[in-house]
Amino acid sequence: MTQLSSGDKFNSRGTPYSREDATLETLLDFDGKRYYLETGYWIKFCAKRVEPDAHRPSGVSYAITLHDRNNTRVLGFDNAHRYKPKRKKYGARKITWDHKHDRDRVEPYEFESASQLLEDFWREVEKIT
C-alpha cells in the first residue's frame, strides 16, 4: 500500500495530479458559467465529463463560445456535434467532432488538451475583442 502525505494531490482516478489534470478540472468547473467583458461581448462555457468514445476520445464534451452584444455567436470551439469537412475530389473522408466556429465559417479543430483548448480560445478572443 502506498503511503500518502497530506500534501499529495491525486485526481479522481487515483493517480498523481498533473498540470493538465488541474487545467481540465478548471475547464469542468467553468461549466454553465457566463462571463461578461467590458467590451460588450460575453463568454459561455459548457464542459462535462463523458465516457471516452470515437467521437470524444478525451472524455470531455465541451462548447466554449464568444457572443457579441446582440447575442450572436462570433466564435466557438466545441465537439457537441459532428463536423464533416468538405471533401476534396479524391480525398479520404474524415468525420471529426472537434471544430471551431468563426462567425459563419466552420473548420476542424485538433483537440490536444484542455490547456491548449483554453489557450487557443483566449488567443482568438483577444483578436476579436
Domain boundaries, the chain: 19-83+97-128
pLDDT score of 120 more than 90: yes
Mean pLDDT of the chain: 81
Average pLDDT estimate for 59-75: 95
Average pLDDT estimate for 95-120: 88
Q: Which residues contact residue 4 at a Cβ distance below 8 angstroms, ignoring those fewer than 6 apart? A: 10
The pLDDT value recorded for residue 47 is 96
pLDDT digits (tens, 9 = 90+) for 73-88: 999 999 876 666 565 5
CA distances (Å), origin 67, targets 9, 34, 110: 36, 10, 22
Question: What is the distance of C-alpha 74 from the center of its chain?
Answer: 16
DSSP-assigned letter for residue 31: T
3-state secondary structure at position 121: helix
Question: Residue 59 — pLDDT band, cuts 50, 70, 90?
Answer: confident
CA distances (Å), origin 112, targets 7, 117, 118: 29, 7, 11
